[in-house]
Amino acid sequence: SAVISQKPSRDICQRGTSLTIQCQVDSQVTMMFWYRQQPGQSLTLIATANQGSEATYESGFVIDKFPISRPNLTFSTLTVSNMSPEDSSIYLCSVDPRGLAGIHEQFFGPGTRLTVL
């Protein structure tokens, strides 16, 4: 398994500002993922982040709004830029430590609960 921590755990922000969320894993992993969970909704994949390459964004998500960094195999950040109240969500990072071996599993961080006023 993998232990994942996220910072901050929650934040309240003003519209128009940006927030950077950090995700730290206790082991080296190739694939990291960022999800958004809007209130009362399911999880939606924002992007996949590989170390050493640009993040791959899902339909409906763009780099200008959600820039992602992946400087090494244990760390990633997601920035929510120019926030609006519609960005109020839980943002979760996850890792798939054995994906390249054909074993599907995904471990999730505790989430960052963002409220935009």
Residues in contact with other proteins by CB under 8 A are 31, 33, 41-43, 45, 48, 90, 92, 96, 99, 102, 104-111, 113
| Closer Cβ to other proteins, 82 or 94, answer by number | 94
**Least distance CB 71 / other proteins (angstroms):** 19
CB of 54 to other proteins, least distance (A): 14
Q: Give the nearest distance from C-beta 103 to other proteins in angstroms.
A: 9
Q: How far is the CB of 115 from other proteins (least distance, A)?
A: 13
DSSP letters spanning 51-102? TTS--EEPTT--TTTS-EEEEETTEEEEEE-S--GGG-EEEEEEE-TTGGGT
Q: Give the nearer residue to other proteins in terms of CB position, either 48 or 69.
A: 48
Question: Measured from the CB atom, is 64 or 103 closer to other proteins?
Answer: 103
For residue 11, give every residue at least 6 positions away whose Cβ sits within 8 Å of its Cβ, in sequence order, or none. 19, 112, 113, 114, 115
Nearer to other proteins, 77 or 89 (CB): 89
Estimate the share of the chain in helix, then strand, then coil, as percent rounded to the nearest 5.
5, 50, 45
* φ/ψ of residue 97, rounded to 5: -65, -25
